[in-house]
Amino acid sequence: MQDANARFPSIAKVLILRQFLWGAAFYGAYVLLTKYFLFELNYSEADTIMMMGAFGAVGPVFSAVGGFVADRYIGSFRAVYIGYTIYTIGFFLLGMGASTLNVPLSIFSIALIGYARGLSATSPTVLLGNSYSATNREAFQQGLTVNYSINNLGSFASKYLFPFLVAYLAYQGNFFISSFLMFITLTLFFTFRKQLAQVGNDIDRRSVSMKTWGYFVTGSALMLGLVFWIFSNLDAGKYLLYGLGACAILYFIYEITKASAAYKYKMCGVLITIFIMIVFYFYYGQMLTSMNIYAINLMGDQILGFIPIRPESNAAFNPLWCFILGGPMIYVYNWLEEKGYSPTIPTKFAVAFIFSGIAFSLLGLSTSFVGENGKISADWILWVHFFQSTAELIVGALGAGFIFEMVPRYLSAFAIGLRSVALSLSGILAAVISTKIALPKDQVLTPEIIEGVYASYFYNLAILAIVMAVVTLGLSKVIAKLISKGEELERIESSSQASPQS
């Protein structure tokens, strides 16, 4: 790309626009699913929590497989293009299922969406990274942050608006809107297909054999069937998700044994970081499970006393804060660098755990302020999301970039998928543990139940977050030494190759 040294190469702008459209489509549908399953399909609270946990976990855990397929067989651009086609179909069928309250069709639709997410999740970061030149990596990191903020803008808009639109369009109308947004994204990818293929991997720039396509279609059918089975058998399916996540991590360990000495050290640092991510994203998973159920049951319908909001729209607070805080976060990082201090990714995770601890302490405290109407002020949830979103923003835009820089290029999509594996494992763990606060249908929320079920749960999570902050600070020093050793070996290797032959 001729402008690969620009702050925002032209194809990077296309990919950032794609992120806005995807965020609006995916999260707009996602925010409706809890109440859709709970009230329209008549699932119990426990089953709804598990369904949301599985839906949040399936795409990320399969993204490592999707990244592997993109790296080795079909290319990053093709993986996104095919995945977004399936997204479009999945959202459309979800609308059809909602129009007739068809449970099997609804489950099949979210299985399609989960498969599409798994296939395409890692490749956009690869495309974005390749749109920048090898000497323009700082701009790439800034591009990742902007991309992350734009995703949050699309996510906030749809999470806030879609629940209000249910009154006019019903659930199916909103799901059809998501399908249309994905269709626009497909049109964008078709228009810029040549430029996007150029920033893909080598496979994107050559033809794929019919034999490979045959294997891909067969494997996709098997994977889709597996995802459908997981959603239809949640109790057994969670163990399968655990196993798939463990297999992805074991494969990465296998690749460490084959890597060069320099990459061995750096990839070991990535492996420790994955463990930290699993624990951190457990708190992210709480926003979509326990926090969401808590808000649906107890949150009031006004922010600051005059802004209307639906209880299920509480999830919109997260992308709102991430979007608002994105610029200030960049400013803080630049200020620290000017002062000669550049905290490592693991150190940032330690700070993020502290913010998560504050967030869940506030959530526990909010249970003591239930009003006469049986609701807590939405302002409590707003500020809980402020601290949790700050925690997420500290690390969220940089985790993928860190992994991208620490692994060999032939493993880039798969390795980025490991971040999603962490998200998946933490998401299903969050769902399983969150079922502890699930209540029977029509349960009257007395002060004793609110205190005994919700308050104790959130306070325990706050304590765990502070403990993890201390543990992560210790691990950050280990990771820093591993990366430093890897970079030292790289310099020695480069110097050896550059020296004239005697």
- pLDDT tens sequence across 410-441: 777 677 767 777 777 888 888 888 888 888 87
Highest mean pLDDT out of 59-63, 120-124, 415-419, 453-457? 453-457
Distances, alpha carbon 23 to alpha carbons 81, 157, 233, in Å: 16, 9, 28
User: Tell me, what's the pLDDT at 164?
Assistant: 92
CA proximity to 301, closest of 175, 163, 434, 440:
163
Residue 2: inside a domain: no
pLDDT digits (tens, 9 = 90+) for 69-90: 888 899 888 999 999 999 999 9
Which two structure tokens, joined as six digits, stand for 212?
């490979």
Please give the pLDDT value at position 422: 78
CB of 249 closer than 8 Å to CB of 417? no
Between 326 and 377, name the one with better pLDDT. Answer: 377
DSSP string over 404-450 = HHHS-GGGHHHHHHHHHHHHHHHHHHHHHHHGGG---TT----HHHI
* Structure token digits, residue 14: 């296309």
Classify residue 294: in a domain, yes or no.
Answer: yes
pLDDT digits (tens, 9 = 90+) for 193-213: 888 888 887 888 888 899 999
How many folded domains does the chain comprise? 1
Segment 135-183, tens digit of pLDDT: 666 677 777 778 877 888 888 899 999 999 998 999 999 999 999 999 9
Q: Which residues contact 264 (CB under 8 A, 6 or more apart)?
A: 256, 257, 486
339 occurs within a structural domain: yes
Mean pLDDT of the chain: 84
Structural domain includes residue 1:
no
Neighbours of 250 (CB within 10 A): 10
In a domain, 121, yes or no: yes
| CA 136 remoteness from chain centre | 26
CATH number (domain holding residue 161): 1.20.1250.20
The pLDDT assigned to 55 comes to 85
Condensed to tens digits (0 to 9), the pLDDT of residues 281-294 reads: 888 888 888 888 89
d(C-alpha 401, C-alpha 145), whole Å: 10
In a domain? residue 499 = no
What per-residue confidence (pLDDT) applies to 139?
A: 75
Residue 214: CA atoms inside 13 Å, Cβ hemisphere, count? Answer: 3
Residues in Cβ contact with 111 at an 8 Å cutoff, skipping those fewer than 6 apart? 58, 90, 224, 227, 228, 230, 231
Q: How many helices (H) and strands (E) does the chain have?
A: 18, 2
* Domain that includes residue 171, residue range: 10-493
Q: Is residue 47 part of a domain?
A: yes
Q: Which amino acid is at 272?
A: I
Average pLDDT of 455-474?
Answer: 91
- Measure the CA–CA gap between 319 and 329, rounded to whole angstroms: 14
Q: What is the pLDDT of residue 470?
A: 92
pTM to 2 decimal places: 0.79
Q: What is the pLDDT of residue 1?
A: 46
Q: In this predicted structure, which of 2-16, 201-215, 339-353 has the lowest mean pLDDT?
A: 2-16
**Residue 54 domain-assigned (yes or no):** yes
Half-sphere exposure of residue 139: CA atoms within 13 angstroms, side-chain side: 17
CA R_g for the chain: 22
Average pLDDT over residues 482-490: 80
The answer to whether 288 and 427 have CB atoms below 8 angstroms apart is: yes
